[in-house]
Structure 1
Amino acid sequence: MSISNEALQKLVQEIETQAIQAQQQINTVKSQIALKQREIRMLQLTSSEVATLPADTPVYEGIGKMFVFSPTAEVDKRLTAETSELKSDVENLGKKLQYLETTYKNSREHIDQIFKSGGRS
């Protein structure tokens, strides 16, 4: 049983569209991962700097256009919480990236398979 050229062309276009969308999403997810990893690094550097301060050192955090006094322990606790949240986000983005890469690979393989078979099913 052979597929008509028109149906075959439509199928290839749909698969190609899916592959292109997956590739675009892969690029987006990779940039999101890089951004979150950069934020994690900044938080870790800030946390290490705060850890070197004596316990009675006044620490101020920027909130909008003002600075508010925060105890060193609270600042460190907040930094740790934000870091763990970002690490969780990176892990989830990694899973999404793996799914998108698999989708892209499968789309490419389907297109190759269609061309190799010459449209025969």
Structure 2
Amino acid sequence: MAIPNEALRKVLMEIEQKSIQSSQQIQLVKAQIAAKKRESRILQLTASEVGVLPSGTAVYEGVGKMFIQTPPSDVMLRLEKEGSDLKNDVTNLEKKLHYLETTYTNSRNSFEQILTRAGGSV
């Protein structure tokens, strides 16, 4: 059973549109993952620097336009919490990336299958 050309074009346009949207979202998610990994690396470097300080060292954290003296142990706890939050964010973004890549691949495969079945008559 042959699909009318107009209906076939409409289906192909929808699949192509979904493929383009998935591709754009993939790029966006990859950029978000890279940014989160950079933040994580900065936290690791900060933690390693604060970790080697003697316990009585004054450490200051920025709050708005001022700085507040904070014990190094509190800073380390905050850095660990932020680090675990970033790891969770990266994990969730990687799951989203996998979903988007699967959607993109399926869209492209569907597009190619329709073209092969139609014999390129579109």
After TM superposition, the score normalised by the length of structure 2 is: 0.96
Larger RCO (CA within 8 A; separation ≥ 6): 1
Q: How far apart are 1:2 and its partner, in Å?
A: 1.1
Note the 1:1-121 alignment, pairs <5 A.
1-118=1-118
The aligned amino acid for 1:44 is Q
Unaligned runs of 5+ in 1: none
The aligned amino acid for 1:33 is I
1:84-114 Cα offsets, whole Å, 9 max, x none, are: 0000000000000000000000000000000
1:13-42 Cα offsets, whole Å, 9 max, x none, are: 000000000000000000000000000000
1:46-88 Cα offsets, whole Å, 9 max, x none, are: 0000001000000000111100011100000000000000000
Segments of 4+ moved more than 4 angstroms? none
CA distance in structure 2 between the aligned counterparts of 1:57 and 1:17, rounded to whole angstroms = 58
Give SS of 1:68's match: strand
CA distance in structure 1 between the aligned counterparts of 2:101 and 2:68, rounded to whole angstroms = 45
CA distance in structure 1 between the aligned counterparts of 2:48 and 2:76, rounded to whole angstroms = 9
CA distance in structure 1 between the aligned counterparts of 2:6 and 2:72, rounded to whole angstroms = 68
CA distance in structure 2 between the aligned counterparts of 1:94 and 1:110, rounded to whole angstroms = 24
Q: CA RMSD in A?
A: 0.7
The aligned amino acid for 2:43 is L
CA distance in structure 2 between the aligned counterparts of 1:81 and 1:18, rounded to whole angstroms = 37
Give SS of 1:47's match: helix
Give SS of 2:98's match: helix
